[in-house]
Structure 1
């Protein structure tokens, strides 16, 4: 029998005897494989190709036709479509259904397939106007409850939560009765109402396969790419079964192997493998100590150092292979089953698909990780002293002299690379430069463990025992500390970078109006229409004070906009200065400011961007679409706006008229928030369709919830890795704990000894990880928040998140370790 077969058999038997430790190692190795495999499978399953989505889009029809708005120039190609909605005299007018059928050839039958929205009280819901009873729609939506709708009836998707018999009350139309529930083949989260005659609100913005008028077409001949140009010239966007099925599938091109892409992939692989090896390493080390007598007996009978290494590496092969196999199967299952669940929250799902090349690559990485995690114990097994082991004496732990120096060199090299990488526009270089820093800290960790063990004499007895045991078994402790350090450093770095990016986006937000301000204006209208619009707005907003804004016009009555440029959060921002009086100034400032009011009364501009002023002057560029531009310089004073992120300027009418312009009423402003069901715009549009109603809502974005997802991941890895190392340490300390129990130590003391190990491992790893993560996070903030040369980086620390990672997780791991079983039978001790 070969040595490899013997080693594999011994590894299999050893793994079965120590089932708890084996399961722990398999979890450590298999968890990253499972997560990555599940994500790959989930992404591939939720990616619907045009051929897979053909039935949902066309049903049983030969083609789907969408009509572009009148005046749209459309050009459709195999890779997409280009269109412009400018008023082009050569653009085609809108066509009737009979004209569209004539373009598609004799014998063509069309049914309406119009996309729009329904106004239901205060809410809007997507709607499809078509007759689902027609055979052409078969497959687009599947009936799951009730029946298909006829006139004045609708079917709804399950996400709306309605059932047959319910009523829908569209604004300005008769109620619609729900008679059925239909499901989309790929989009379970779809919220849509379907019926043959719906009071749709058309969306003014058109895009292919978006809102608008459309048809499903049953043609006598296939609609091919040769027919598309003529249809495009008629203003029709077409998707046909032949265009999709006869076209060769788009080749799946792997991303170009650029240096940036290669470095990014290598960084991710190294980080995943490093954390996995560090988490699984202590378990293999403990397994070696439990088997060292067995290995010593093999060595005493003539076993070579290479055979001892093979036996220990076989542990990594068996456990890593089993973990990878199980994790791959579970990952594929989780991704396949998770796709429909995820799609219910948004997105789409198709038939189960597995991207085998990347999945197999991840499985190979998991197997390699198991072998690497067992490599250090295998080298230790080959170097152990047979006589010392057979005499049941614990070999003294010795540090390698060169490791601290190598670690320090890697750290310095990584810090130097970080300084250079933070100047690059891409954050991948900062992440890559963090790898040598982490590797250097891993090499330096045994030295750090030994140095931090020196003050242990001043600690409370249970903690002193814990620290001294951790220092004595540095190979086990250093691996666990390094794992916690790597996880903490990654979480802190990502936290600082992500939060800095969020704060930069928030600081970059700016508006010329304070939150809560309502603005009403119109395009080119005559004075009589403006007076009617003003009167109607006053009637519709009773009791709401309205401030008037004005528009600058030249002698030829051409409209001019007065603008200036300012840098806001490092970005050049162009603002339009408003023209108004004291009432508008109070709205923009949210209060009465005597100094600003006096300046405005004296013919000076009031500016909310202090950096735009030069020697008490504001330079404005007067621009018009139909006249020559002008540059004017006006006296100005700085003032404080109502909101932190508000900018802009207000010019008095007299100042504008002194510059050679006339002024005309053209805007209305009020501090008023219309309710969600407000019909203000629709009512004002009855006066003129050119009216615009805008309500300033302020900054709406919230911090990225994914940051706390990192906290959950760090919780699993830090607490799980710490508890795993603690349980292994508790097993190692069984003789010492048994002796302590024999001389009267209470269970509380024994639990404190075990918890002390958890506190030491997680606390030291968290502190070192905080330092490494802070450096990388600050470096990450520059490429993630700068917008060009001279723009300073935004650095923001999410203190609650950092405290939760660096302080909360070690305390949680310590508290969890307190429940570790401490009652042990007496053990025989050699004196």
Structure 2
């Protein structure tokens, strides 16, 4: 035991001195292991810091209060709520035919005796800015009260202390062009100015536009002024922050529920009750409640797979590092043998080197990961739109990551230790490597591993919902590719005959020295595979979300509509949009009215009627056809019949849009087709000839006509519908043209030419206009437009289509950023190690008189060749896990879709679209940037004139 201890002590001392003596080589080896540790630790710190603890969540919503009491507007009846207070329902079950309870509750009567309270009131309003008019939330909360500490973070100035003062969020100030010290005017209260005395931010809503004022100083005067000028008020929602001695317990929450209010309690949020103690969860339908959703399950699957591949990547990156380091130290190891050292001593020295470098890499990688996370935190917070909870360091997790580095260092040094101990003393001292035949067994093992791993991953994605199976299969397949690397390097060598001299020499050198090339290629392969896996999964989920997004209009298009005052102010509104926004094409639209011009399609005022498009009975979906008593008849169909009808064209639902008219009917001309992006000459001609252009063939009769029923007595129509009969009213028939193909119409089902409506005696009034724009309108332009429209005193529905905006996931963002960092760093370090191992070849070139340019060029191409092979193989290996995860998600979503089809709701939901999108731009960037960067770096660091040395020192 004593001899073993002293032997290892001496080995560690030799390894430490050797590492310190050859700092450049040790740095490369250390960096190879530390870089993945840096990425993993930084990703861990980023994700942990972004997660809010229960204490941090309640601090942002409750400040220092013990609870927030809210009125659910159920008239004070007893309710049941979840522990968070976000969901509630009447404690008594609502029977069929019973109405949902409504009404206000006096919160002041619910507050426990002796409790301190602070009123928190919210609303909204429009404010005058340097550009025009900007809508913002209003929060009346005395922010200087200690109970409110933590809800809002002051950035500049101070919070309001008297009636004429307000504070604003930093995002509002940026958008409005105002600043601390400016005066602020609210729409409807033009004679009153408010002084902005401070700027603040909401920790969980950095991009929120909000105004803070003292209670009773802004919302009530604003609502009173708006009511006086007959403008819609901002609304008002009052809650009470409460501080109670001993905290607000779950029993107190249930007592408050019995009196008709909901409570968000600090004590309950931090220590929630058991599920069996929550009355809401005991209700029918809540017992099987699952918090996990498809997106959450998919995210966990992605994280599990990528983390598993990251662990494998660390192992693969460390192997070539120690292989090169051991070869560079073979002369020193030969001296140990020449002085009587045994093979076990040589193995101990090499393993001790792995221990020393692994320990140093763990410390360096973890520290750099912490520094990198701390430096990037403000950028990540701005990107996500919310502040992290804290710089959350989990010592046990970081220790586990560091221990992985030490373990990796030891495991990666095993093979070099065994190889070095088997070399003869003479071979070690002379530096001769000998000639070794490539293994014929290893490629076979690699092929088997690739096939088996792909099969396992395919099974996991099609037959199982476990991400561990997908991760395991992907890891096995990647190991198989690594085993195939020497053989694949040989295949790459066949491309040398078509290359110029320098790259051909570099490629032949890489093939001839496969023992040196293969580990370096494997290192780059592992790093690229992780990046490609993350990029492929991210691109695929983004493509799915973008496909599921329902745009209200084509990108950049604008719609402006109003149903007030019979369209009296529509002409001025149309002109205002054209003046303030970069309009290209304007299409004026009208709407059909029955009765008074001021009536809209849903008005119940006296003298107002409505209209409806008469769908021919042969085109009515059998699933939704009413029975004689007006009830739904879908229950009479079997599961097989429901599935079949779910695919029937009569039962398919049209996607909605921003239109606000009944049945999607607009009165307009051919310009509207241009705004909608519909290029159909036949439809343009039909409109010019006075025909309706239909986008839903269910509305067409067999005679190619469309019937519109004018209902002058809505109550009689409702009574007829309840009995399964047609509503009474005159029917107007129009000649119609069905648009060819399936154009995207954004909720519009038909366009009625003004001449056709006039010909049959249907009354129309102006509704608004649709526009195309030369460029996306800016926030300042929209504020000017809101200001001009506000001068008309009419409420307008304005929609500017900005297209799909991707959701920002901090997990995928952290994985993508740090995977890319590892890829670039690993490629540079791996190729640097390959260059260090090829130093003898460069010295030979110098000995035979090669020009410095030749040395630099060859060195650059040697590193570039390694990087190219690693990127190509890593791209192929990285796509597999992402494909497996996407197939798993597709199977889950198809199961839910088929369940909806069985219940007769399949026609209301489209067939799930779960694509696998290969990020070709990312792959192209990797294929170009990584090899080019590695080659240039190698060429730059290669010395123009290398000093000649004795052969034995090689």
- TM-score, normalization by structure 2: 0.70
| Matching of residue 153 in structure 1 with residue 275 in structure 2 | no
Change (3 A) 1:373 1:12: same
Distance in 1 (CA, whole Å) between partners of 2:815 and 2:112 is 58
Task: Verify the 8 A CA contact 2:558 2:771 in the aligned structure 1.
Answer: yes
| Corresponding residue of 1:216 | 241
| Corresponding residue of 1:43 | 47
Unaligned runs of 5+ in 1: 203-209, 523-529
Task: Verify the 8 A CA contact 1:580 1:653 in the aligned structure 2.
Answer: no
Q: Deviations over 1:11-30 (max 9, x none)?
A: 21221112222222222222
Distance in 2 (CA, whole Å) between partners of 1:602 and 1:233 is 66
1:43, distance to aligned residue in structure 2 (A): 3.4
1:770, distance to aligned residue in structure 2 (A): 3.8
SS in 1 for 2:769: strand
| Corresponding residue of 2:559 | 518
| Matching of residue 805 in structure 1 with residue 926 in structure 2 | yes
| Matching of residue 292 in structure 1 with residue 330 in structure 2 | yes
1:477, distance to aligned residue in structure 2 (A): 0.9
Q: Which moved more, 1:382-391 or 1:218-227?
A: 218-227
Task: Verify the 8 A CA contact 1:584 1:669 in the aligned structure 2.
Answer: no
Distance in 2 (CA, whole Å) between partners of 1:566 and 1:637 is 26
1:746, distance to aligned residue in structure 2 (A): 0.9
Change (3 A) 1:168 1:72: farther
- TM-score, normalization by structure 1: 0.79
SS in 2 for 1:64: strand
Distance in 2 (CA, whole Å) between partners of 1:595 and 1:144 is 60
SS in 1 for 2:86: strand
Q: Which moved more, 1:356-365 or 1:280-289?
A: 356-365
Structure 1 counterpart of 2:80, from 75, 79, 90: 75
| Corresponding residue of 1:206 | none
1:444, distance to aligned residue in structure 2 (A): 0.7
Distance in 1 (CA, whole Å) between partners of 2:749 and 2:870 is 53
Distance in 2 (CA, whole Å) between partners of 1:137 and 1:808 is 51
1:824, distance to aligned residue in structure 2 (A): 0.8
SS in 2 for 1:34: helix
1:151, distance to aligned residue in structure 2 (A): 1.4
| Corresponding residue of 2:185 | 169
Change (3 A) 1:585 1:88: farther
1:268, distance to aligned residue in structure 2 (A): 3.6
Change (3 A) 1:108 1:302: closer
Distance in 2 (CA, whole Å) between partners of 1:781 and 1:717 is 24
Q: Deviations over 1:634-688 (max 9, x none)?
A: 997542599767575327699x99xxx998869935214895234499969977x
SS in 1 for 2:163: coil
Change (3 A) 1:284 1:232: same
Task: Verify the 8 A CA contact 1:739 1:827 in the aligned structure 2.
Answer: no
Task: Verify the 8 A CA contact 1:578 1:649 in the aligned structure 2.
Answer: yes
Structure 2 counterpart of 1:128, from 136, 139, 146: 139
1:320, distance to aligned residue in structure 2 (A): 0.9
Q: Which moved more, 1:68-77 or 1:738-747?
A: 68-77
| Matching of residue 116 in structure 1 with residue 203 in structure 2 | no
Change (3 A) 1:430 1:261: same
Distance in 1 (CA, whole Å) between partners of 2:813 and 2:154 is 40
Task: Verify the 8 A CA contact 2:88 2:262 in the aligned structure 1.
Answer: no
SS in 1 for 2:70: strand
| Matching of residue 814 in structure 1 with residue 853 in structure 2 | no
Structure 1 counterpart of 2:682, from 595, 598, 602: 595
Distance in 2 (CA, whole Å) between partners of 1:587 and 1:649 is 13
Task: Verify the 8 A CA contact 2:663 2:749 in the aligned structure 1.
Answer: yes
1:405, distance to aligned residue in structure 2 (A): 0.5
Distance in 1 (CA, whole Å) between partners of 2:76 and 2:743 is 41
| Matching of residue 769 in structure 1 with residue 874 in structure 2 | yes
Task: Verify the 8 A CA contact 1:575 1:648 in the aligned structure 2.
Answer: no
1:388, distance to aligned residue in structure 2 (A): 2.6
Aligned ranges 1:707-726 → 2 under 5 Å: 716-726=821-831
Larger relative contact order (C-alpha < 8 A, sep ≥ 6)?
A: 2
Task: Verify the 8 A CA contact 1:607 1:650 in the aligned structure 2.
Answer: yes
Distance in 2 (CA, whole Å) between partners of 1:53 and 1:125 is 24
Q: Deviations over 1:560-583 (max 9, x none)?
A: 5769899899x9644579465762
Distance in 2 (CA, whole Å) between partners of 1:638 and 1:420 is 47
SS in 1 for 2:941: coil
1:474, distance to aligned residue in structure 2 (A): 1.9
SS in 2 for 1:175: strand
Q: Which moved more, 1:614-623 or 1:324-333?
A: 614-623
Structure 1 counterpart of 2:834, from 711, 729, 734: 729
Change (3 A) 1:348 1:464: closer
Structure 1 counterpart of 2:26, from 22, 26, 39: 22
Aligned residues: 804
Change (3 A) 1:701 1:7: same
Q: Deviations over 1:741-766 (max 9, x none)?
A: 23321110000110121121012222
| Corresponding residue of 2:262 | 237
Q: Deviations over 1:323-360 (max 9, x none)?
A: 11333344345556765664455323445443344333
1:166, distance to aligned residue in structure 2 (A): 2.6
| Corresponding residue of 2:782 | 676
Distance in 2 (CA, whole Å) between partners of 1:492 and 1:568 is 40
SS in 2 for 1:193: strand
Change (3 A) 1:244 1:255: closer
Distance in 1 (CA, whole Å) between partners of 2:151 and 2:552 is 46
| Matching of residue 583 in structure 1 with residue 583 in structure 2 | no
Change (3 A) 1:53 1:818: same
| Corresponding residue of 1:826 | 948
1:377, distance to aligned residue in structure 2 (A): 1.1
Change (3 A) 1:30 1:222: closer
SS in 2 for 1:406: helix
Task: Verify the 8 A CA contact 1:286 1:476 in the aligned structure 2.
Answer: yes
| Corresponding residue of 2:804 | 700
Aligned ranges 1:531-546 → 2 under 5 Å: 532-542=565-575, 546=588
Aligned ranges 1:429-508 → 2 under 5 Å: 432-453=472-493, 456=496, 460-508=500-548
Q: Which moved more, 1:129-138 or 1:304-313?
A: 129-138
| Corresponding residue of 1:100 | 107
Give the superposed CA RMSD. Answer: 5.3
Task: Verify the 8 A CA contact 2:76 2:104 in the aligned structure 1.
Answer: no
Task: Verify the 8 A CA contact 1:507 1:645 in the aligned structure 2.
Answer: no
| Corresponding residue of 1:65 | 69
1:190, distance to aligned residue in structure 2 (A): 7.1
Distance in 1 (CA, whole Å) between partners of 2:16 and 2:947 is 29
| Corresponding residue of 1:321 | 359
1:111, distance to aligned residue in structure 2 (A): 4.1
Task: Verify the 8 A CA contact 1:580 1:651 in the aligned structure 2.
Answer: yes
Q: Which moved more, 1:56-65 or 1:750-759?
A: 56-65
Change (3 A) 1:378 1:259: farther
Task: Verify the 8 A CA contact 1:616 1:636 in the aligned structure 2.
Answer: no
Aligned ranges 1:749-760 → 2 under 5 Å: 749-760=854-865
Q: Which moved more, 1:675-684 or 1:50-59?
A: 675-684
Task: Verify the 8 A CA contact 1:8 1:315 in the aligned structure 2.
Answer: yes
Change (3 A) 1:718 1:233: closer
Q: Deviations over 1:251-308 (max 9, x none)?
A: xx9999x999998777445422332233332331222112223323434555444443
Distance in 1 (CA, whole Å) between partners of 2:204 and 2:115 is 29
Structure 1 counterpart of 2:250, from 225, 241, 257: 225
SS in 2 for 1:325: helix
Unaligned runs of 5+ in 2: 224-234, 276-289, 579-585, 595-600, 603-607, 622-644, 657-661, 710-716, 728-732, 899-910
Task: Verify the 8 A CA contact 1:224 1:242 in the aligned structure 2.
Answer: yes
Distance in 1 (CA, whole Å) between partners of 2:361 and 2:459 is 40
Change (3 A) 1:605 1:383: farther
